[in-house]
Amino acid sequence: MDLEAVKRKISELSESLHHYNYMYYVKSESIVSDFEFDMLLKELEELESKFPELIDSNSPSKRVGGTVVKHFETVKHRFPMLSLSNSYSKEEIIEWEARIKKTIEHDIEYVCELKYDGVAIGIRYLNGVFHSAVTRGDGSQGELVSSNVKTIKSVPLTLQGEVPSDFEIRGEIFLPLQEFERLNKERAKENLALYANPRNTASGTLKLQDSKVVSKRNLDCYLYGMYEERSSYTSHYQAVLGAGKMGFKVPLPEQRKIEKVKDVEGILAFIDFWDYERKKLPFEIDGIVIKVNAYNQQEELGYTAKSPRWAIAFKFKAERVETKIESVSYQVGRTGAVTPVANLKPVYLGGTTVKRASLHNAEQIEKLGLHENDSVYVEKGGEIIPKIVGVNIAKRIINAQKVVFIGVCPACNERLIREEGEAQHYCKNTTSCPPQLKGKIEHFISRKAMDIDGLGAETIDTLVEKGLIKDISDLYVLEFNQLIDLDRMADKSVNNLLDGITASKLQPFEKVLFGLGIRYVGETVSKKLAKAFKTMDCIVEASYESLVETDEIGEKIARSIREFIEDEKNIILIEKLKHAGLRFEKEEEVRASSILESQTVVISGTFERYSRNEMKQLIEENGGKNGSSISKKTSLLVAGANMGPSKLKKATDLGVEIIDEADFLKKIKHD
């Protein structure tokens, strides 16, 4: 057989196997026997072994895995993977829908879907062929897990019909209940610890280094979110059905896994249906997702810093169990907040064995009227964090002692402070309280801050206990000889750690600022501060009033920043970090002009010459700020095609200047 004939045969076999996979794993139709499928796959593998130069990266033979990845590459998302705001009551859903109607006054459709209890994934396709798969990560960047996702048989490697040339589809990878039970039976036979629940097992499987092992776990995947620069679809529902025609496993209307409704009554009916029917599903769900259907209405509603305003998740009521409190202990966080924790008689709840539950603060202990050895009711808040929701007083032991919140720090014996208006008690010994110091280091080296690999919690404990680190600046004076003698540290791991510490000096100012761990100064606030003040020196000199006037900086945050700055120890720490070479100035952004300086610009609709992301970039390059919704602060509305009438009306009522794409480009001299 000549090379061209082999190429044709490999192509024929691949096409057939892709089709059979699609029919079986997506359409649930078996059109060939297992034996026939295996013989075709074997024939393909034999040809590929003889002619390795003809192997395609998306060959059906790749489904069985075999790729070993030592470290998953971190990849920046082209489109941020925002999380949804959660609701735990129908009243909140009714309030959410009412808020939507205040902005979108007519012709609203909602799409209701299942909230799969798995791992969020984004898969990119170029010209109809699988390109890459990235986990959610922190929402702005995730881990490249392409080789593992390729083993999931319901994920197509090649698409069918008309497809966009470059797009991403998002969904949820999960472990079917049958597979979860099978894995635990195998582990039980080998006297291994059982997996806690399907969701954690799916997440762990996706991070395995050997894709051959992943392929044997039989993960599954529903895909339902289309993302591209210029979509040919006008609504979410339309895009989901379109994705199904391309070959993706999507939620189907006939199975009522996705449904269009026109009002809140339809939303609540869908919730009620699946609250009962979910018990019959072959996989776990933990709620329902509701989205505004039309893309132009989604765009009109916009986003908060963390989530879209046009979507919400309803979480099903948590399972409740009764168990007994064995003791109460206290944890000290990196900010000095002291949290009481109930140590429980182990009890099975929502797929995991629960041994501890947060009591939150002294007020909660008082509210529960908690006594030693009480029998308590435990739920999982949002089905994630266990919490005590009540006490079975009928089972209380006679003469049981009331649980009283401690007065001194359990780690350093410093007297605890509870400030007016605060629920938490705090230990103010910020410099030498071990849990606070360890927590600050863990926060400082985290991915969202300085992103230093190679420092686990145990190594941090050792460094603090041996006195090698007294504050975060001491990381930058660590030496090879100090680290090599520590447990679990060899030449390579020490060098990797030191290289990571050196590389962290290149992190931008906003990440350094976030890494300092100022109370209430999260990732978004750090970016706002860096943009507004440019340097750490300017923040140090900033008055309380000037901080409050800064975009998204309220009184509480401003007070916290001033309190941090007024502590001389923190000023010394900043100087030490400056001396170490960290960046305390924001790099100047490359600007085409300052034409839009101090102006908040809102874009709405679709545009001919540029994508929405490119339009936003042009606004920033010319000194403007992107706004997500029309308000009194809006300076300019750039109106594209299919813009929502509500946004147009609001802009007109407020006297906001409205221009089209062509006039905008003339305004910034970008013809």
Instruction: Count CB-CB contacts under 10 A for residue 627.
Output: 19
Task: Say if residues 286 and 63 touch (Cβ distance below 8 Å).
Answer: no
Contact call for residues 530 and 505 (beta carbons, < 8 A) = no
SS3 sequence of 486-504: CCCCCHHHHHHHHHHHHHH
Closest CA to 390 of 339, 322, 317: 322
H or E element at residue 314? strand 311-315
| Distance in angstroms (rounded) separating the CA atoms of residues 671 and 668 | 8
199 and 160 Cβ atoms separated by less than 8 Å: no
Helices (H), 340-456: 362-368, 434-444
State whether residue 635 is helix, strand or coil: coil
Active-site residues, by number, are 115
Give the type of residue at 44: L
Does residue 313 contact residue 289 with C-beta atoms inside 8 Å? Answer: yes
- Asked whether 401 and 370 are in contact (CB, 8 A), the reply is no
Amino acid letter, residue 173: I
Residue-wise burial string across 314-341, b where 16 or more C-beta atoms lie within 10 A, e elsewhere: bbbebeebebebeebebebbbbbbbbbe
Burial (CB < 10 A; 0-12, 13-18, 19+), residue 265, is: exposed
Q: What are phi and psi of 253, to 5 degrees?
A: -60, -40
Q: Is 245 within 8 Å of 159 (Cβ atoms)?
A: no
Q: At 216, is the secondary structure helix, strand, or coil?
A: coil
Question: Which DSSP helix (H) or strand (E) runs through 457?
Answer: helix 457-465
Q: Strands, E, within 493-562: which ranges?
A: none
C-alpha to C-alpha distance for 87 and 161, rounded to whole angstroms: 38
Q: Is the dihedral of CA 662, 665, 666, 670 positive or negative?
A: negative
In a 3-state reduction of DSSP, which class is residue 266? Answer: helix
Q: Which tokens sit at 336? A: 């000095």
Radius of gyration of the chain from its Cα atoms, rounded to whole angstroms: 28
What is the spatial distance between Cα 248 and Cα 252, in angstroms, rounded to a whole number? Answer: 11
Contacts of residue 478, Cβ cutoff 8 Å, sequence gap at least 6: 463, 468, 469, 497, 498, 501
> Which three-class secondary structure state does DSSP give residue 318?
coil
On the 0-12 / 13-18 / 19+ scale of CB atoms within 10 A, 446 is middle
Q: Which tokens go with 275?
A: 């609250």
Segment holding 547, helix H or strand E:
helix 544-548
Q: What's phi and psi for 123, nearest 5 deg?
A: -120, 125
Neighbours of 555 (CB within 10 A): 10
Q: Where does residue 267 rank: exposed (0-12), middle (13-18), buried (19+ CB within 10 A)?
A: buried
